[in-house]
Structure 1
Amino acid sequence: MDILIVSHLYPTPADSVPGIFVHQQAQALQERGHSVKVLSPTPYVPNVPHLPNRWARFRDTPDRSQIDGIDVSYPKYVSLPSLHTLPLVAKSVRRSVDSAISNLEYSPSFSPDVVNAHVPLPDGYACLPACRRLDVPLVTTVHGASIQISSENRLCRRQIRTVFQSSAEVVFNSEVLLGKAKKYFNGFNRARVVPNGVPLAKLDSASAAELPANFSENRMVVASVGSLQPTKGQGDVFEALQNLPAESRPNYLLIGDGPKREELERKATALDLPVHFTGSVPHEDVFSYLKSTDIMALPSTEEAFGIAYIEAMACESPVVGCEGEGPSEFVDHGETGFLVPPNDPKAITDILTDLHDNPSKVRRMGKKASEYVRNNLTWAENARKNEKIYQSAIEK
């Protein structure tokens, strides 16, 4: 099967972290014998100095690249610096993607049997003209932001609705996200739910990281993996640590970067907590840090799925997530991790107190968590399920 993946959420040669989950799915599909190509629409950024980081990272993105054996093209589009302009940006992305797909029409070695867009807007919307012209089915995969952010805009909702109506299949990565989509859109009686996975080969080949020098010996290591922003809940973990007696506070490892880093660094200094900020790190290094972690605590209040949780679980680390969010679908409370109410640092304090007093419980839960993920949540299993969905779309 020739599979064309269209996703603005895709790694670049210079930045391997954004959209790594889309890349891992592409790899798993290729490993199953399919021919996979990727179009990753990328903002056009002129070569001018002193650009903000959010734009400068796109400046050196090439037109084409090959990442782990996957051919990737980066068609450029004109972007605008506001979520309110997304309906206009989607039209710019559509022109770029349509032109790029037209170029594929003349390829003797690749003729797409199916197009898989991640996410509805702008990617699914961008694929519509080409799918109609080529009479190729569109499968639209939905991730969190496209529902939780874009759907607040009336024009975005209209464009997303068009994508859903034009898609042969619509796939959500969790039941939680599907439930949120139903608040804005109708007609999801036949929507599919396919969870994300973990790349077991890369995870198993990673070695445990050396712990920072400022960490206290013989204490648990609690990690949070994700962008440092209010909804991720790192501030609640800080408060939970503050509520513990000084002699039993775990070491706290924050893996990732984001707008709240300076505030959290000030708080760590003021509270004199054993904390280390890694900043942004390559994905393989995340696995290394998780292998040196006892508990992964991320009480995020907006989590459609939560790849960080299943990666931690695969590394034998029980996790702490929020009730009603994505992790509630795969965390067995008290057995492979914990689910706490949103914005409830005391609940986290109680969990850390219990685990501090029962290190054997941490190990037991970690092994059960790893076993569950390895048996149910791998990219190989994700690819197998998506393969069936593609075939269904083609047969329609």
Structure 2
Amino acid sequence: MVGGLGRHVHALATQLAVAGHAVTVVTRHAPGLPVDEMRGGVRVVRAPEDPPPFPLATSSLLAWTMAFNHALTRAALRAAATAEFDVIHAHDWLVTHTAVTLTEHLRLPLVATIHATEAGRHQGWLPEEMNRCIHAVEWWLAREASRMLVCSEYMKWEVTRLLELHDAAVEVIPNGVDDRRWRAPRKAVERARERFTAHDGPLVVYAGRLVYEKGVQDLISALPTLRDRHPGLRLVIAGDGPHRTELAEHCARIGQDVEFCGFMEEVDLAALLAVADAVVVPSLYEPFGMVALEASAAGAPLAAAATGGLLAIVQHGKTGLAFPPADPAALADAVTRLLEDPKAAKRMVAKARAMIRKNYLWPTIAATTAQAYAAAIDEASVLSPRVAGVERPAIVVPEGNLLALAATP
């Protein structure tokens, strides 16, 4: 599980299977798991790494990606030897080489989802050669895809400009959430309450990857102000990432005690969110903001940066409180408002849950995605030289056959 992409692919694939589609996900192998199995109605084909060792690290990322795509392509072709597919869906730049190879070899339409851009992750810059290479791969994927999907209106704005696409070529289909899975069992909530709230002050929580663009450093910088206002306040940071050591050093420099929990299983995380007095999403860059949906479904009051996809989820004063990104003082003010008016915070939680039921449940998201597949197949049968001469009936939703590619399932 690396960020929100894995959760997106898992939920989308299983919901498409529930709707009647035949879905195959081709992804990385993990130790101890079979290379080919049925899971939740989805065929999961896992590509083991080839023997030459390429560490999955920043300095060797491009070499690792090339090696990964070789293994992924062979696994996908083996899957295609035993099934006929109607469409290929590539998730993000890491699988571009495999996606293009399969599109040309199988003569199938390609749908691509850009979950985030390299320039966006670096606040609009491409500082190093590696960053420029990744951007070039994103640009290539956008050219090869017959349909481009993004998760928010903000991402549509970003992708059309960065990747030089016409507005009509990019379709917004938001991420979803299974709200029932984020309502933790009573015993798990009791355990979380005993572990995290046995103190005199309020509980503030951050959940997510520990990388610079998530803005956790701003939450830590706001701590002295928050603790002056709310004695005994406890900050729990759930998640892990390359920025963890730096964040711990930041805490030490300003003399603030913070609990770093590391990665948490979903049921434990849902329970932690359920007992939080406030959940903070301080992102500098956020294409969508899956954690905001998950926290709201769990029942947590939200304070979130007014950036990216969060703007659609956290409607200020209605479904949560928004503050300018990279502004610790404004962050502290937003959290203070939630803590000082718990009745208003509960009203915002109720409105957020109603918004989730209306707009963000996975059956709705999967149905909209299936319609995008159908449109790509119909357009490709008429326009694309790759499928010229191949007789393919128009897809009848919900009976498509999908090959999905993802670096994290």
Bigger mean CA deviation after superposition, 228-237 or 304-313: 228-237
Residues 237-282 of structure 1, C-alpha deviations (whole Å, 9 max, x = no match): 2232311354724332211123343454566578776743321111
Question: Is structure 2 residue 99 aligned with structure 1 residue 116?
Answer: no
Q: 1:18 to 1:60 in 2, by over 3 A?
A: farther
Q: Which position in structure 2 is the counterpart of 1:52?
A: none
User: After the TM superposition, which residues 136-285 of structure 1 pair with which residues of structure 2 at under 5 Å, given as runs?
Assistant: 136-145=108-117, 148=120, 152=126, 153-190=131-168, 191-204=170-183, 206-207=185-186, 208=189, 209-211=191-193, 213=195, 215=197, 217=199, 219-246=201-228, 248-249=230-231, 250-265=233-248, 275-285=258-268
1:23-65: per-residue Cα shift (whole Å, max 9, x none)?
11111111111111110045xxxxxxxxxxxxxxx55554334
Change (3 A) 1:64 1:131: same
Partner of 1:126: 98
Q: Cα offset for 1:328?
A: 0.9
- The question of whether the paired residues in 2 share the 8 Å contact of 1:216 and 1:274 is answered with no
C-alpha separation in 2, matches of 1:270 and 1:159: 40
Amino acid paired to 1:169: R
Pairing 1:39–2:12 present: no
Structural mapping, 1:293-332, within 5 Å: 293-332=276-315
Q: Is the 8 A contact 2:90 2:113 kept in 1?
A: yes
Give, in angstroms, the shift of residue 300 of structure 1.
Answer: 0.9
Question: Using the alignment, how far apart are the partners of 1:41 and 1:382 within structure 2?
Answer: 25
SS at match of 2:180: helix
1:97 maps onto 2:94 in alignment? no
CA contact (8 A) 1:40 1:73 kept: yes
Gaps (5+ residues) in structure 2?
Answer: 380-409
Give deviations 1:203-248, integer Å, cap 9, x for gaps. 2354425235464546432110112233322232223231135472
Per the alignment, in what secondary structure is the counterpart of residue 377 of structure 2? helix
Deviation at 1:285, TM superposition (A): 2.1
Amino acid at match of 1:101: A
TM-score, normalised to structure 2, is 0.79
CA-to-aligned-CA distance 1:360-396 (integer Å, 9 cap, x gap): 1111111111111122112121101101001101111
Counterpart for residue 28 of structure 1: 15
Deviation per CA, 1:136-172, whole angstroms, max 9, x where unpaired?
1111011115553599344444433332222121101
Q: CA RMSD in A?
A: 3.0
Pair 354,393 (structure 1): closer, same or farther in 2 beyond 3 Å: same
1:360 maps to 343
Structure 1, residues 298-318: CA drift from partner, whole Å, max 9, x if none? 211021111101111122223
- State the alpha-carbon separation in 1 of the partners of residues 367 and 48 from structure 2: 32
Number of the residue aligned with 1:369: 352
Q: Partners of 2:59 and 2:276 in 1: how far apart?
A: 40
1:48 is matched with none
Q: Secondary structure at the match of 1:115?
A: strand
Q: In 2 relative to 1, CA 24–361 (structure 1 residues): closer, same or farther, beyond 3 Å?
A: same
Q: 1:260 to 1:135 in 2, by over 3 A?
A: closer
Q: Is residue 177–residue 304 contact of structure 1 (8 Å, CA) maintained in 2?
A: yes
Q: Distance in 2 between matches of 1:267 and 1:97?
A: 40
- For residues 374 and 145 of structure 1, the distance between their equivalents in structure 2, rounded to whole angstroms, comes to 28
Q: Structure 1 runs of 4+ off > 6 angstroms?
A: 15-18, 269-272
What one-letter code is carried by the residue in structure 2 that aligns with 1:142?
I
Relative CO higher for 1 or 2, CA cutoff 8 Å, sep ≥ 6?
2
CA 277–105 in structure 1, closer or farther in 2 if over 3 Å, else same: closer
Q: Distance in 1 between matches of 2:350 and 2:342?
A: 13
2:74 and 2:11 map into 1 onto residues whose CA distance is 26
Question: Contact (CA 8 Å) 2:15, 2:362: kept in 1 or not?
Answer: yes
Unpaired stretches in structure 1, ≥5 consecutive residues? 1-10, 43-57
Whichever residue aligns with residue 179 of structure 2, its letter is L
Cα displacement (A) at 1:353: 2.5
Count of residue pairs brought into register by the alignment: 365
Taking every aligned residue pair, what percent have the same amino acid on both sides? 25
